[in-house]
Amino acid sequence: MAPSMLTALSIRDVVLIEALDLEFGGGLDVLTGETGAGKSILLDALGLALGGRGDSGLVRHGRPQAVVTATFDAPATVFSLLEDNGLEVEPGEPLIIRRLVKADGGSRAFVNDQPASAGLLRELAGHLVEIHGQHDDRGLINPRGHRALLDIFGRVEPRDTAAAWATLREAEGALAAARAEIETAARDREWLEHAVGELTALAPEPGEEEALADRRRSMQRAEKVASELSAIDDHLEGSDGALSNLRQAARVLERIADAHPTLAEALAAVDRAVTEADLAEESLREARRELAYDERALEEDEARLFELRGMARKHRVQPDDLSALTADLSARLERLDAGEGGIARLEAAVASARAAYDKAADALSARRSEAAGRLDAAVAGELAPLKLDAARFRTAVQQLPRDGWSGSGKDRVEFEIATNPGAPFAPLTKIASGGELSRFILALKVALAEEGGAATMIFDEIDRGVGGAVASAIGDRLSRLATRTQLLVVTHSPQVAARGRTHLLIAKSHDGTVTRTGVRPLDEEERREEIARMLSGATVTDEARAQADRLLEVA
């Protein structure tokens, strides 16, 4: 069973389908029915769930709306995509896509009951289903995926090219940035030279502004107290100062202290006062020394401080950042002076990185060309059995313009065909016949084999216009392909129908007033009868039943 696939399809009121619930398994499911039974309606309904145009003409006559619900076991990449689009779906849960189209116009879409856009459904479809038919423009038809398919087929790994591309882009970015800086610096040279000159002359130091401010404050305080200290000196010192008078009083008291006890007490008090006055005098001398200032030094510090702060305002930085600014502007000027040498080194780095990228990308192109030859041969081996022996297939590997180069290399890859001898090669989309296109897709799918892609593939009337051995070859290849993925095939060929794991019959019924299209799975006997009908037409013969048995036995 495929790791991810379509598990169920529910249709309500789509054209002739009133109500239909189908379940699918892995492998090859075939859908058959008479012409006009409504096989295309089934695919249109699935296409609607996958983001197709919400045309009100799909709504069954007389009903308000059409509803299609498709359920998938989905790969992990789908859940990442849903998360990127803001939808919450737990990995491992069934993915349920529901699309409603109203009869009066307009449509709505839901993913696990959360509103979603039709654009998101189309993006999801690329991970879930490939539909190959006359009007398919996705899957192998779209050249945007051809390079990746070729790389997977050839086991070509562009890792080295991607790394070389990243290095080249980084080197080119550094060169562009250096050129831009030099260009800007060149315009600012005069200003840079002036700024570096005045900053260098100023020679600011980190922390200098705070030190100057502290020293200035100290000297300003000293200036304020200097006159008061002089007045104190006049009171304490000198022949008429308080200290001199206290000493004289002490000498007199010493001579008369014996005359009375209280005089001795007075002498002791005066001695203490002299001692305290001496201490005060010493403290004043210490304070005078510490508060001493040089008026000229104060002026110089103030001038330096104002200059630092003025320069900081000019350059819109803090004074302590002036030193770093000097170094930065000096470096810019040096880079400008040495710019040509620096540019030359960066140019050499770009040239080296470009050479490395060219080497890696050219080697990648060579591996792709070799893989393209093997893929062409593999597809060619599938064409004749599918009645495409006159056609030719090639994988065109062409170099992109330089602005298209990337980490994936320099190449544009597209699958091309020529359907008739002598006809020019053209893209797959130029094939006129839908059946022919489907067989080409089948051949390519078989050749690619391991490329993966969507887990569910739908082929719409791949066997149109062929029969016999060609139809058998188509059936054989579909059966082989179905061992790796889920296939749904709408077919008119009994050889293809006999290969199916399950067989669904699409039939139209009338009750006199209403026409309905229904689908039902066939059991073994019903399946034998349907294949016999496909072999013989309206009247089923015993010979047709015998031939049906042989086809089923071979399958």
Q: How far apart are CA 503 and CA 73, in angstroms?
A: 21
Give the residue numbers spanning the domain of 541: 522-555
What are the helix (H) ranges across 456-507? 468-481, 494-497
In this structure, are 205 and 311 located in the same domain? yes
In this structure, are 79 and 195 located in the same domain? no
Q: Please indicate, yes or no, if residue 290 is contained in any of the structural domains.
A: yes
For helices 339-383 and 146-154, angle between their N-to-C axes, nearest 10 degrees: 80
pLDDT by position in tens, the chain (length 555): 345 689 999 999 998 888 989 888 888 999 988 776 667 788 888 889 999 888 888 999 889 999 999 999 887 778 888 888 889 888 778 999 999 999 988 899 999 999 999 999 988 888 888 777 554 545 577 788 899 889 988 889 999 999 999 999 999 999 998 888 777 767 777 888 899 999 999 999 888 888 888 888 877 777 777 667 767 766 776 667 777 788 888 888 888 888 888 888 888 888 888 888 888 878 877 777 766 666 787 788 889 889 999 999 999 999 999 999 999 988 888 877 766 677 888 999 999 999 999 999 999 999 999 999 999 999 998 888 888 888 889 999 999 999 999 999 999 999 998 888 888 898 876 765 666 777 788 888 888 865 555 568 888 877 777 778 888 888 888 888 888 888 888 888 899 999 989 999 988 888 777 888 888 889 999 999 999 998 887 788 889 899 988 988 876
Reading the block at residue 205, the tokens are 């130091």
In this structure, are 200 and 331 located in the same domain? yes
Sheet holding 95-102, edge to edge: 17-23, 5-14, 65-73, 95-102, 107-111, 114-116
Query: For the CA atoms of the chain, what is the radius of gyration?
Result: 48
Q: How far apart are CA 533 and CA 148, in angstroms?
A: 43
How confident is the model at residue 284, as a pLDDT?
76
Q: Which of 287, 306, 337 is the last residue of a domain?
A: 337
How confident is the model at residue 137, as a pLDDT?
46
In this structure, are 544 and 455 located in the same domain? no
Q: How far apart are CA 234 and CA 232, in angstroms?
A: 5
In contact, 177 and 339? CB cutoff 8 Å: no
Q: Please indicate, yes or no, if residue 430 is contained in any of the structural domains.
A: no
In this structure, are 226 and 280 located in the same domain? yes
What are the helix (H) ranges across 188-207? 189-202
Q: Which of 337, 361, 395 is the last residue of a domain?
A: 337
| Domain tally, the chain | 3
Q: Which of 304, 337, 370 is the last residue of a domain?
A: 337
In this structure, are 218 and 111 located in the same domain? no
In this structure, are 113 and 5 located in the same domain? yes
In this structure, are 226 and 106 located in the same domain? no
In this structure, are 248 and 333 located in the same domain? yes
Q: Please indicate, yes or no, if residue 33 is contained in any of the structural domains.
A: yes
E strand or H helix that includes residue 458: strand 456-460
In this structure, are 253 and 325 located in the same domain? yes
What is the torsion angle, in degrees rounded to the nearest 10, for the CA atoms of residue 445, residue 451, residue 455 and residue 458?
-20
Q: Please indicate, yes or no, if residue 354 is contained in any of the structural domains.
A: no
DSSP 422: T
For helices 261-290 and 208-236, angle between their N-to-C axes, nearest 10 degrees: 150
- Any idea what the CATH number is for the domain that residue 96 is in? 3.40.50.300
Degrees (nearest 5) of the Cα angle 430, 457, 19? 110
Q: Please indicate, yes or no, if residue 274 is contained in any of the structural domains.
A: yes
Q: Match 């005078």 to its residue by tokens.
A: 288
Q: Which amino acid is at 445?
A: K
In this structure, are 218 and 99 located in the same domain? no
In this structure, are 506 and 555 located in the same domain? no
Q: Please indicate, yes or no, if residue 462 is contained in any of the structural domains.
A: yes
Q: Please indicate, yes or no, if residue 58 is contained in any of the structural domains.
A: yes
DSSP 483: T
Q: Please indicate, yes or no, if residue 394 is contained in any of the structural domains.
A: no
How confident is the model at residue 356, as a pLDDT?
97
